[in-house]
Amino acid sequence: MPPMPPLNWGLLPPSFLMPSSTRSLLPLIPLSAAPSHTTVRTIKSVNTPRPDRFAHHPKKPALNSTSRAALARKALTTPLRTGLLAQKRGMTAVFDPETGRRTACTVLQLDRNEVVAHKTRDKNGYWAVQVGAGHKSIDNTTKPMLGHFAVAGVEPKRWVMEFKVKGKEGLGVGVGEHVGASWFSVGQWVDVKGISRGMGFEGGMKRHGFSGQPASHGQSLMHRGMGSAGGSQGSGSRVLPGKRMAGNMGNESVTVKNLKVLQVDEANGIVVVNGCVPGPKNQIIKVQDAMSKPWPAGPMKLADISPAALAESTEAAATPA
């Protein structure tokens, strides 16, 4: 609706609406002065406009829904340097010669770990090192991946995974460079991540440790079932979301934290960690510095683990002692 024209109560109606007797008086009536305020009348909101949630103002506290804030939140738990890909090759034990203590351990083997790409904050929004391991024939590799590997200057890799790092200094290993087992040091702590053994469709007893049902006392044809799935009317007559039931077990990503590195063998690509590691033999495993322990003072780039650098570090460690 267009704004209504101002009504000026001081003015007389148009002359044609006036009685003829008064028409002669019209010029005698003085015109009122222009109004001192705006006279447009329309509908106005009584609420003050709300500011945009996403328009950040410097005076306000920092937003926590940005990628920058997300990286800052994860800064404490993001390793400083890349991890490596290893294959689980079996379990054995090691003895401590002094205390005689036996430690069950898992033997991991690294196979041709090479850096395939770097992920940067500017380009990808985060910092990460893409590591490839193993070997894949060129025939079985797609053309796009071949181009990716060719740019990195590495042979096609069977496994390609990313390891997030905290910042730019985590990209110490250049693209195309080969990293061996001496990337890890004896005594440091690592987290390992792998796909667990798949058990298939399993019942509640095996999958969740349910107790099952009695073998006798009149029990009929139901010994390993899960029993009740919940109450009836009054409790809602429904199955609550998240109710543990039979289903597919295993074959999921499992992280085991804080495993100690017991042995490192660069020539044979062996890393021995204590305890067990998810998955069957030859399962590919991600090994990275443990996030809940102090970061190791380990090598950040290949030059630190060259034979000369290792000799220097051992000398430096030996002299103060």
Q: Which residues bind other proteins (CB under 8 A)?
A: 89-100, 102, 105, 107, 109-112, 114, 135, 138-139, 143, 146-147, 149-153, 155-156, 174-178, 263, 265, 267-270, 272
DSSP 282-294: T-EEEEEE-TTSP
CA–CA distance, 57 with 54 (Å, rounded to integer): 9
Q: Which is nearer to other proteins, 117 or 226 (CB)?
A: 117
Record the tokens describing residue 6, joined without a space.
């101002």
CB of 305 to other proteins, least distance (A): 14
What is the end-to-end Cα distance of the chain in Å, rounded? 92
Our CB check for other proteins shows the closer of 92 and 124 to be 92
Q: What distance in Å separates the CA atoms of residue 197 and residue 254, rounded to the nearest whole number? A: 10
| Total Cβ atoms within 10 A of residue 154 | 19
Question: Is the CB of residue 148 less than 8 Å from the CB of residue 128?
Answer: no
Residue 51 or 100: which CB sits closer to other proteins?
100
CB-wise, 64 or 92, nearer to other proteins?
Answer: 92
Residue 190 CB, nearest approach to other proteins (Å) = 17
* Closer residue to other proteins (CB): 45 or 140: 140
Task: Classify residue 121 as exposed, middle or buried by CB count within 10 Å of its CB (0-12, 13-18, 19+).
Answer: middle
Least distance from C-beta 260 to other proteins, angstroms?
15
Please provide the size of the chain in residues: 321
Between CA 313 and CA 309 the distance in angstroms is 6
C-beta closer to other proteins: residue 55 or 267 = 267
**Phi, psi dihedrals of residue 208, rounded to the nearest 5°:** -120, 0
Give the residue with the Cβ less far from other proteins, 202 or 266: 266
> Taking a C-beta distance cutoff of 8 angstroms, is the pair 54, 60 a contact?
no
Q: C-beta of 204: minimal distance to other proteins in Å?
A: 32
Q: How far is the CB of 178 from other proteins (least distance, A)?
A: 5
Which CB sits closer to other proteins, 10 or 174?
Answer: 174
Q: How far is the CB of 292 from other proteins (least distance, A)?
A: 27
Q: How far is the CB of 249 from other proteins (least distance, A)?
A: 27
CB of 135 to other proteins, least distance (A): 6
3-state secondary structure 234-299: CCCCCCCCCCCCCEEEECCEEEEEEEEEEEEECCCCEEEEECCCCCCCCCEEEEEECCCCCCCCCC
* Inter-residue contact 272 to 283 (CB < 8 Å): no
Per-residue tokens: 196: 């667990």
